Chain A
Amino acid sequence: MQILILPILLPVVFIVPLILSKSVRLSRGLGITSSILLLVIALILFVSVLKHGILTLFLGGWEAPYGITLVADTTSALMVLVSAFIAFTISVYSLFMVSDDLVRSKFYVFFNSLILGVNGAFLTGDVFNLYVWFEVMLLSSFVLITLGNNKAQLEGGIKYMAMNLIGSLLFLIGLGLLYGKTGTLNMAHLATILNEDNNNILMNTSSVLFFVAFGIKAAVFPLFFWLPASYHTANISVTSLFAGLLTKVGVYVLFRFFTLFFIQDQDFWHQLLLIIAAATMLFGGMAASVYYDSRRILSYHIISQIGYMIMGLGIYTPLAIAGAIYFTIHNMIAKTNTFVIAGLIAKKNGTFDLKESGGLLKASPILAILFIIPALALAGVPPVSGFFAKFFLIKGGYEAGDYIITSIAVFTGLLTLYSMVKIWFEAFLKPVGNKNKNSSGFSFIQLFPSILLGTASIALGIFASYGYDIAIRAANELFSPEAYIHAVLNK
């Protein structure tokens, strides 16, 4: 299917004129156009995956396992669709949140190359190709996080770079060892070789290296320290984009690897994943409650919620994995939305510090409504998306008999609710406002990204049964990889 190449090709096609363009308006126009086209392509891709099952494309006509294969199963098509949706909302958001100077520093070039890397990582079926897409994504994110060149950004950039470079090195080492042991890097071929393999002790060196590498990218405990040290320094539209996409690519790859071919030593891995998930949830949630900078609170929440996704992988039943997929999608949308709102609050108040904010409920009631949707979604209050995502996960956990982790997940929900209530009190209810407050209201276009994301959150809650059908289909594909292997290797 040729459509598989389009989510990768489209950003490349737009990068060329974006590099050459000297006009700010042209760059913004091209940025919006590319994200709209990407959303359309991702939608077509998703529908055709739902209709025809797993799609594959052999680049250059080299059949698997010799060439590079692109594969779209339900999970990856879903991830491409949701990230295209987030990219679209952020490209609208960046119209007024990214200054002309930053556009002249080629913001949209790196925006597109980041999307290129993310889409490539979701669609590839080859481990080395995945490494290349990770590097594309990483280099663009390095540039985006330091765009603006102030002191805090450079310091955050150095921390971000340091941890992620070590992660990439570990990824490459694991990949080299894996090739030495199996002689292939095609994921489906690896699955056929490793599933017949009884020497699982030998595989653990590679799988641990991969786990640490993707653990750094996904910001799981105890590898998350780069995230809260750097995310709050960048421009708020960059942070919103990162919050929605980057860590989730790490989570997606963990799901792919640990359901497709690293499934030999299940007792050890699932135990480890559950312990790490519990620690990630608790530490993220508790650390968030200390801070008063809205971006820091939300950064720690990213970490806390990565724990839920890892928990689904650790429980390892179709229902729990479906819950984790549903949770990932809900979280990408709601998390981006909270950052988008935090940016709007700061635009109104002139600061991200919640202690100096206040009185927004009177000043801008519409903003309060828009904030309450993702806040309730993250906390898991029905009828918005988060309730159903957590419900599937926790039900899966109880059915599998993992009572401790499910109790921790429920408790973490309280921590999340506490932080959301704190932002609500400090920014909206508290009467005293900042002196240098910007009294002008918001125009429709400024609220549009948040309205779009909020609608998606509500839709995921109301139409949860349709969403569940898709998530359980994706989980079944992950859980029994025979269909994936058959689609790639044709046997």
Chain B
Amino acid sequence: MEIVLSVLVGILFAAGVFMVLRRSILKFIIGVILMSNATNLLVFLSAGIVPGIPPMVGENPEKMADPLPQALVLTAIVIGFGIVIYTLALKYKFFELTGTDDLDQLKKTDS
């Protein structure tokens, strides 16, 4: 199972990097969403996954799943949501003001 999920993490990262390198701001945001999901999956996988065993249930700690990555990933997902909402709002505001979605038009503050 881990090997499948690791490949999925790789695919998500590749797709995310591809999208981030496109010229549109919206595609950039989609790329960031893909990469942040890949990251969440990676953190979730970090302790190794065990099928059918819940954390914190039962007497023997040896037979429990590690609860910490699950807690970490929940927090990270929530933070990710907040950031995605903000970036979309920023993109909307920018589009409203300038009417462009092209990252190549964003060179007024650089020089």
* A residues whose Cβ falls under 8 Å from a Cβ of B: 128, 131-132, 135, 138-139, 142-143, 146, 149, 151-152, 154-159, 161-162, 165-166, 168-169, 172-173, 175-177, 179-180, 183, 185, 228-230, 232-233
How far, in Å, is B80 (CB) from chain A's closest CB? 9
Nearest-neighbor residue (CB-CB) of A129 within chain B: B75
CA distance A146 to B87 in the complex (A): 12
Nearest-neighbor residue (CB-CB) of B16 within chain A: A169
CA distance A410 to B72 in the complex (A): 45
Would you call A142 and B43 a contact (CB within 8 A)? no
CA distance A230 to B109 in the complex (A): 7
Q: A139-B82, A142-B90, A157-B90 are in contact. List 18 more A-B contacts (CB 8 A).
A: A135-B82, A142-B86, A146-B90, A146-B93, A154-B98, A155-B108, A158-B25, A161-B86, A166-B20, A166-B35, A173-B43, A176-B42, A176-B43, A179-B69, A180-B46, A180-B48, A229-B109, A229-B110
Nearest-neighbor residue (CB-CB) of B84 within chain A: A165
Contacts known (A139-B83, A179-B69, A180-B46); A158 close to B94, Cβ less than 8 A: yes
Contacts known (A151-B98, A162-B28); A172 close to B109, Cβ less than 8 A: no
The digit string for B94-106, where 1 denotes a CB below 8 A from any CB of A, is: 1001100000001
CA distance A230 to B106 in the complex (A): 12
Asked if B32 lies at the interface with its beta carbon under 8 angstroms from chain A, I say yes
Nearest-neighbor residue (CB-CB) of A179 within chain B: B46
How far, in Å, is B59 (CB) from chain A's closest CB? 19
Residue in A135, A179, A228, A232 whose CB lies within 8 Å of B43: A179
Would you call B76 and A172 a contact (CB within 8 A)? yes
CA distance A228 to B111 in the complex (A): 9
Would you call A158 and B106 a contact (CB within 8 A)? yes
How far, in Å, is A286 (CB) from chain B's closest CB? 15
CA distance A135 to B79 in the complex (A): 7
Find chain A residues with CB under 8 A from B91 CB: 158
Find chain B residues with CB under 8 A from A228 CB: 110
Would you call B87 and A161 a contact (CB within 8 A)? yes
Residue pairs across A and B with CB atoms within 8 Å: the count is: 93
Nearest-neighbor residue (CB-CB) of A181 within chain B: B46
What are the nearest 10 A-B pairs in CB distance?
A176-B43, A180-B46, A176-B46, A154-B94, A179-B46, A156-B109, A135-B79, A172-B39, A176-B42, A229-B109
Nearest-neighbor residue (CB-CB) of B82 within chain A: A139
Find chain B residues with CB under 8 A from A172 CB: 39-40, 43, 76
B residues 34-61 with Cβ under 8 Å of A? Answer: 35-36, 39-40, 42-43, 45-48
Find chain A residues with CB under 8 A from B110 CB: 228-229
Contacts known (A139-B82, A139-B86); A155 close to B47, Cβ less than 8 A: no
How far, in Å, is A87 (CB) from chain B's closest CB? 23
B residues 63-95 with Cβ under 8 Å of A? Answer: 68-69, 72, 75-76, 79, 82-83, 86-87, 90-91, 93-94
CA distance A135 to B36 in the complex (A): 13
Would you call B46 and A132 a contact (CB within 8 A)? no
CA distance A228 to B110 in the complex (A): 7
Nearest-neighbor residue (CB-CB) of B42 within chain A: A176
Nearest-neighbor residue (CB-CB) of B72 within chain A: A128
Would you call A154 and B87 a contact (CB within 8 A)? no
Find chain A residues with CB under 8 A from B75 CB: 128, 132
Can you identify 22 A-B contacts, CB atoms within 8 angstroms? Answer: A132-B75, A154-B93, A154-B94, A155-B106, A155-B109, A157-B90, A158-B91, A161-B86, A161-B90, A165-B32, A169-B36, A172-B40, A172-B43, A172-B76, A173-B39, A173-B42, A179-B69, A180-B48, A183-B47, A229-B109, A230-B109, A232-B109
CA distance A175 to B75 in the complex (A): 13
Would you call B106 and A165 a contact (CB within 8 A)? no
Find chain B residues with CB under 8 A from A132 CB: 75, 79
Find chain A residues with CB under 8 A from B43 CB: 172-173, 175-176, 179
CA distance A243 to B48 in the complex (A): 41
Find chain A residues with CB under 8 A from B39 CB: 169, 172-173, 176
Find chain A residues with CB under 8 A from B40 CB: 172
CA distance A128 to B71 in the complex (A): 11
Contacts known (A139-B82, A172-B43, A177-B46); A152 close to B109, Cβ less than 8 A: yes
